[in-house]
Structure 1
Amino acid sequence: MKSLFKKSLLFVLALSAVSCFNESSPNYQYFPDMYEPIPYEPYGEYEIFLNGQSAMLPAEGSVPRGWKPYDYENSQDGYQAAKSELTNPLPYTEDNLAKGRQLYTIYCAVCHGDQGDGQGIMVQREKILGIPRFDDEGRNITEGSVYHVMYYGLNAMGSYASQTSIDERWLIDHYVMNLKNNLQGGEERAFEEEATQEEEAQMKNLIPAVNEERDQLSDGNQGSPGTDNDGQENQNEE
């Protein structure tokens, strides 16, 4: 009799607990940290914001962290200018070439091929055709043209500016030019020595002096045609 009473009591308690459940609202939470995030939700509504939305446009004039301006326009003139003027700022070292090879394998080899001969797996499977070799005399790629195409894209190739950082694109640039040299049968390019800590410190010490000299020049050029308030030529925004 007592056993039946206990079972009946447990059944009633369980039924009562289930009847309190409401699918339209949260119920009892165990470890609520996983349900109630501390930061604002991207598209949540919060009274603290003027329009009630946490997803807002960046302030005017702000730039993403790590972003640097690129002075060449996405045009044929911009391409030709970058091709003739732009050079790789990273030293040509064994380590940088190895990093460039790794990045090239990830982003480029699928179309351009491991050797830069335009015979990547996508071409072999006839998913895309007409990929030029890096030693194509008609294109005559340079460090600047390779970077420009990675930044903006060209023809069937899209931009890789969102997938890669500035340094990563220059690392790939080194490896692409190395593949071009190999296809042409040229001599191996000698590796450069990386800057020592002492040399980097010397460069940092030069920056204040360069800035001071620039400020002096800008003071003398204020108001001249074609310059901004710092005496530097205005550049088109990308």
Structure 2
Amino acid sequence: MLAMNKKNFLGTVCAAVALAAVVSACGDGTTRSTGLEFSRNMYDPIAFNPDQPNKNFKNGITAQTPPTGTTPIGFTRFDYENSVEGYELAGAEITVNPLTVTEQNLKEGHALYVTYCAVCHGPEGNGDGTITKDREVEDSRGKRALENFPEPPSYQKSAGTPSSRGGQMSELTAGKIFHTITYGWNSMGPHASQISPEDRWKVVMYVQELQKK
């Protein structure tokens, strides 16, 4: 009997605590209060947010400029500037792809090429991508033609197409192709933010296969 009373008492206490917690967490509809909070330090981070003022630094800014020459974690540095001189230097110093030519790398390079490059350069690198052709769209404003992009030069050796920066497209070195993917050139925008350095080398590998045709 005593044990039964203890169980009933504990059950009543637990129910009362639960009810109090629910009621205290409810607002009255007129304030922004969230009621009582448990373990507030789980919500408020100890570390500063990048945009918060910070008295620990003389300039009062949390997001400090990294020291000159440092490299962020996960970032691969490309030590060639975005210029014609940088392009030529990359072409002269990087003549071999740092990745090993394998069936898997070529397969992934092809997939990346189709995703990012074929729309302009064409599936076989002939410069006949879909956005270089006549296209039209129809919507609530009616039917209208879309702007055509200029055809890029063909990569293929058989086409004998010269590069706008000199030499044949089929003779571009790995460094020149990588530099162009990274920084862009003419109508082609930079792809460094879209394609990782390793994947860029896979694209280079596939493009150099197209150069052989």
**Into which bin does the TM-score normalised by the smaller protein fall?**
0.5 to 0.7
Residue 44, structure 1, aligned to residue 55, structure 2: no
- When normalised by structure 2's length, the TM-score is 0.63
2:175 corresponds to which residue? 144
RMSD: 3.1
1:27 corresponds to which residue? 34
1:216 corresponds to which residue? none
Q: Deviations over 1:2-51 (max 9, x none)?
A: xxxxxxxxxxx9xx9526x434xx53377878964565323123444444
Residue 169, structure 1, aligned to residue 200, structure 2: yes
Distance in 2 (alpha carbons) for counterparts of 1:70 and 1:17: 55
Counterpart amino acid of residue 154 in structure 2: R
Please point out which of 149, 160, 165 is paired with 2:191: 160
Distance in 2 (alpha carbons) for counterparts of 1:41 and 1:75: 36
Distance in 1 (alpha carbons) for counterparts of 2:42 and 2:126: 51
Matches within 5 A, 1:10-25: 18=28, 21-23=30-32
1:75 corresponds to which residue? 83
Moved more, 73-82 or 101-110: 73-82
Distance in 2 (alpha carbons) for counterparts of 1:46 and 1:28: 30
Matches within 5 A, 1:1-238: 18=28, 21-23=30-32, 26-28=33-35, 36-37=44-45, 39-87=47-95, 88-124=97-133, 125=135, 126-135=147-156, 136-139=160-163, 140-141=168-169, 142=172, 143-181=174-212, 184=213
Counterpart amino acid of residue 123 in structure 2: D
Distance in 2 (alpha carbons) for counterparts of 1:29 and 1:114: 62
What runs of 5+ residues in structure 2 fail to find an aligned partner? 1-22, 136-146
Distance in 1 (alpha carbons) for counterparts of 2:67 and 2:58: 14
Q: Deviations over 1:129-172 (max 9, x none)?
A: 23222125312232222112112211121222232222211110
Give the 3 Å change call, closer, same or farther, for CA 180–17 of structure 1 in structure 2.
Answer: closer
Partner secondary structure for residue 18 of structure 1? coil
Moved more, 61-70 or 156-165: 61-70
Distance in 2 (alpha carbons) for counterparts of 1:74 and 1:158: 12
Give the 3 Å change call, closer, same or farther, for CA 38–114 of structure 1 in structure 2.
Answer: farther
What runs of 5+ residues in structure 1 fail to find an aligned partner? 1-12, 185-238
Distance in 2 (alpha carbons) for counterparts of 1:165 and 1:56: 25
Counterpart amino acid of residue 101 in structure 1: H
- When normalised by structure 1's length, the TM-score is 0.57
Give the 3 Å change call, closer, same or farther, for CA 77–17 of structure 1 in structure 2.
Answer: closer
After TM superposition, give the deviation of residue 94 of structure 1 in Å: 0.4
More helix by percentage: 1
